[in-house]
Amino acid sequence: MMNKAYTEAQMKINEYLQSYFIHYENKYEKKFNEIINYSLMNGGKRLRPVLFYKTVEILKGDVEKNLDLACSIEMIHTYSLIHDDLPAMDDDDYRRGKLSSHKVYGEAMAILSGDALLNKAYEILFNKIFEHSDDHDLIKACRLIADFAGNHGMIGGQVVDIETEYSDISNDDLHYIIENKTAKLIIASIVSAGHVCHMSDEYIELLKKAAYHIGYSFQLIDDYLDVVGDSKIIGKSTGKDNALGKNTYVKYNGIEKTKKDAYEHLENAKNYLFLIKGYEWKFFIDLIEYLKNREK
Amino acid sequence: MMNKAYTEAQMKINEYLQSYFIHYENKYEKKFNEIINYSLMNGGKRLRPVLFYKTVEILKGDVEKNLDLACSIEMIHTYSLIHDDLPAMDDDDYRRGKLSSHKVYGEAMAILSGDALLNKAYEILFNKIFEHSDDHDLIKACRLIADFAGNHGMIGGQVVDIETEYSDISNDDLHYIIENKTAKLIIASIVSAGHVCHMSDEYIELLKKAAYHIGYSFQLIDDYLDVVGDSKIIGKSTGKDNALGKNTYVKYNGIEKTKKDAYEHLENAKNYLFLIKGYEWKFFIDLIEYLKNREK
């Protein structure tokens, strides 16, 4: 996966993520920590927190001081995967090459561990605000994360994704799913980093546009990898979207156009980043090149 | 239910709660609002937000200004009920005398509407902090709510409740379930009101103790009503705890001792409140008398 800069950030995040669910009062809390950590420490790519981390670094912010925000974003992402995999949702037995949470611990514990991760993400953010209550930009960052994870963001996208299975939808609805289900949390990851680094409103807008195109392209790439990818390399079942009657970008546009459009979104992202002057965007340029070449 | 003071607060909260899930971008969001409001506006007692509301009033705080906090607490409570009712959890077809969410809209939408309510609760709190970022006590209130709703609070209690079904547990574990699953969110409702009214640390501690005893007694009363109550009046199935192999206070202590201990907790609550001088606790005294007499 990607380059050394990515892997270093990923390792740092993994180390920090490990420190949250370790305290317990009794054997049940101990076991519940295990259940949560099974999903949280399951070898994920950490794309969202890495994007947050590297954006803070590029904007010359304090990376160490903000690692907890990176972790809270990953917890939101992980909860959404646990709930998505449930039999009532996408009914997926595997996640990242391992049995999904409900297959190992049962549905009740999978639901509750998702709930606990979502709740913990916000506990972390409130603690952060409590420690730095004079930092108004930090509050902006937290608001954005919660807003983009909610019913007009990630959850909203998931709702339409599920509700439209096995039926055809309009282009607007397809766009709504991709923007909300996938792009919003990626936008939140990058733009909240801009907030904690006290970026100007003008630059925040540019960062938001760049992040939107990265997030959008990410879903398009996911869609065509589900068709052409190798499940061993991707670490989850392939051909699943079609079997579930999912409305993917590929379904309406074919593989070639999906690839082409993903490429174009990535180019757009690059162009917006270049408008944010005075920073070294190399990490993002490398990521964009990597994503362009990610055929499987 | 209770007296005029209670009903007035309840009506105010209902009115305000109604204003959250009304905006939509497309027919799917419109439908999802309906699904959320089906559970949220389902004629609940509103105990937790009423406790918050009346505490703010008694402490001479600004009730209107803090209605959104009351609503966020009710959203956390409602999400927990939706998830608790799922087939994988308590498998309850009825809630407040009506079909539960998953019976009407299916499990996927029930899970997602619970997720959306939990997330929205925190969106509300971040917005509040954003508007009043100089109010450090407000941040304390939000932290407490999130903390007591999480894996060392309400969710933790629910985990042990589910994990210990059909088996016997120690007194410590029974106490853990009652304290966390039920008392914690009730404590958060009352004590967060103390925070937004800028109470001293000393008085916060007394309020916390009073709230603990109210919350604890509330679960004890619920336990014996499940055995002796009339399902038409309570609005949910009775005898359910036993059928589910739940570890209730009644199971270990019998009905009479449960009643007696609930009574004692309520007396303790009253005594702690009386130590908080300079305020008129009549509403709580009436509530305590009402709870003592609530035989069905």
**Contacting B residues, span 121-160, partner chain A, CB-CB under 8 Å:** 122-123, 125-127, 129-130, 133-134, 136, 139-140, 142-143, 146-147, 149-152, 155-156, 158-160
Low-confidence ranges of chain A (pLDDT < 70): 1, 230-237, 295-296
pLDDT, position A296: 47
CB nearest to B108's CB, from A89, A116, A173: A89
pLDDT, position B240: 83
pLDDT, position A2: 78
**Choosing among A145, A159, A171, which should be mutated to test the B contact, i.e. which has the most B CBs within 10 A?**
A159
How many other C-beta atoms can be found within 10 angstroms of the C-beta atom of residue A11? 11
**Contacting B residues, span 4-63, partner chain A, CB-CB under 8 Å:** 21, 23, 25-26, 28-29, 31-32, 36
Query: Which ranges in chain B belong to alpha helices (H)?
Result: 4-17, 27-40, 47-58, 67-85, 101-105, 107-131, 136-149, 154-163, 171-177, 184-196, 201-228, 231-234, 240-243, 249-275, 282-292
Strands (E), chain A: 94-95, 98-99
Summarised one tens digit per residue, pLDDT across range B174-205 is 999 999 999 999 999 999 999 999 999 999 99
Contacts of A172 in chain B (CB under 8 A): 26
pLDDT, position A226: 87
CB nearest to A83's CB, from B26, B31, B115: B115
Strand-pairing partners, residue B99, are: B94
Could you tell me what percent of chain B has a pLDDT over 70?
96
Average pLDDT, chain A: 95
Helix (H, G, I), strand (E, B) or coil at A175: helix
**Contacting A residues, span 193-252, partner chain B, CB-CB under 8 Å:** none
Contacts of B155 in chain A (CB under 8 A): 112, 115-116, 119
Structure tokens at B9: 């607060």
Decide if pLDDT at B284 tops 80.
yes
Structure tokens at A189: 């990851």
Structure tokens at B264: 């004692």
Structure tokens at A225: 């990898």
Mean pLDDT over B67-72 rounds to 98
Distance CA B141, CA B129 (A): 10
pLDDT band (50, 70, 90) for residue B1: low
pLDDT, position B138: 98
CB nearest to B151's CB, from A116, A160, A163: A116
In terms of residue numbers, what domain contains A158?
4-292
Distance CA B159, CA B221 (A): 21
Q: How many CA atoms lie within 13 A of B9 on its CB side?
A: 25
Cβ atoms of B189 and B73 closer than 8 Å: yes
Structural domain count, chain B: 1
How many other C-beta atoms can be found within 10 angstroms of the C-beta atom of residue A128? 21
pLDDT, position A139: 98
Q: Which residues lie below 8 Å from residue B250, measured CB to CB, with a gap of 6+?
A: B223, B224, B226, B227, B241, B258
CB nearest to B133's CB, from A139, A150, A159: A139
Cβ pair B122:A122 closer than 8 A:
yes
Distance CA A147, CA B130 (A): 13
Distance CA B149, CA B151 (A): 7
User: Distance, in angstroms, between A187 CA and closest chain B CA?
Assistant: 17
Q: Which residues lie below 8 Å from residue B74, measured CB to CB, with a gap of 6+?
A: B13, B17, B40, B44, B46, B48, B49
Alpha-carbon B88 to chain mean position: 22
User: Distance, in angstroms, between B93 CA and closest chain A CA?
Assistant: 16
Summarised one tens digit per residue, pLDDT across range B201-231 is 999 999 999 999 999 999 999 999 988 876 6
Angle at B207 between CA B201 and CA B210, to 5 degrees: 150
Q: What are phi and psi of B60, to 5 degrees?
A: 65, 30
* The residue to which tokens 């999906």 are assigned: A258
Distance CA A173, CA A176 (A): 5
Distance CA B2, CA A182 (A): 47
Helix (H, G, I), strand (E, B) or coil at B94: strand
Cβ atoms of B277 and B204 closer than 8 Å: no
* Model confidence pTM above 0.95: yes
Mean pLDDT over B266-290 rounds to 97
User: Distance, in angstroms, between B37 CA and closest chain A CA?
Assistant: 13
Q: Is A106 part of the contact surface with chain B (CB cutoff 8 Å)?
A: yes
Cβ atoms of B188 and B73 closer than 8 Å: yes
Q: Is B169 part of the contact surface with chain A (CB cutoff 8 Å)?
A: no
Distance CA A258, CA A224 (A): 7
User: Distance, in angstroms, between A54 CA and closest chain B CA?
Assistant: 25
Structure tokens at B135: 């109010």
Decide if pLDDT at B232 tops 70.
no
Cβ pair A25:B176 closer than 8 A:
yes
Burial (CB count <10 Å: 0-12, 13-18, 19+), residue B265: buried
Q: Which residues lie below 8 Å from residue A37, measured CB to CB, with a gap of 6+?
A: A18, A21
Cβ pair B26:A176 closer than 8 A:
yes
Distance CA A289, CA A98 (A): 29
Helix (H, G, I), strand (E, B) or coil at B254: helix
Cβ pair A86:B111 closer than 8 A:
yes
For the packed helices B107-131 and A107-131, what is the interaxial angle rounded to 10 degrees?
10
**Choosing among A26, A111, A167, which should be mutated to test the B contact, i.e. which has the most B CBs within 10 A?**
A111
Question: What is the greatest pairwise CA distance in chain B?
Answer: 55
Summarised one tens digit per residue, pLDDT across range A82-105 is 999 999 999 999 988 899 999 999
CB nearest to B146's CB, from A126, A159, A164: A126
Q: Which amino acid is at A76?
A: I
Strand-pairing partners, residue B98, are: B95
Give me the count of residues in chain A.
296
pLDDT, position B243: 84
pLDDT, position B296: 47
Q: Which amino acid is at A98?
A: K
Element holding B98 (H helix, E strand): strand B98-99
Distance CA A58, CA A151 (A): 31
Structure tokens at A112: 């509750």
pLDDT, position A34: 98
Contacts of A164 in chain B (CB under 8 A): 28
**CATH code, B287:** 1.10.600.10
Contacts of B158 in chain A (CB under 8 A): 112
Cβ atoms of B124 and B92 closer than 8 Å: no
**Choosing among A76, A85, A126, A161, which should be mutated to test the B contact, i.e. which has the most B CBs within 10 A?**
A126
Helix (H, G, I), strand (E, B) or coil at A63: coil
This model of the complex carries an ipTM of: 0.96
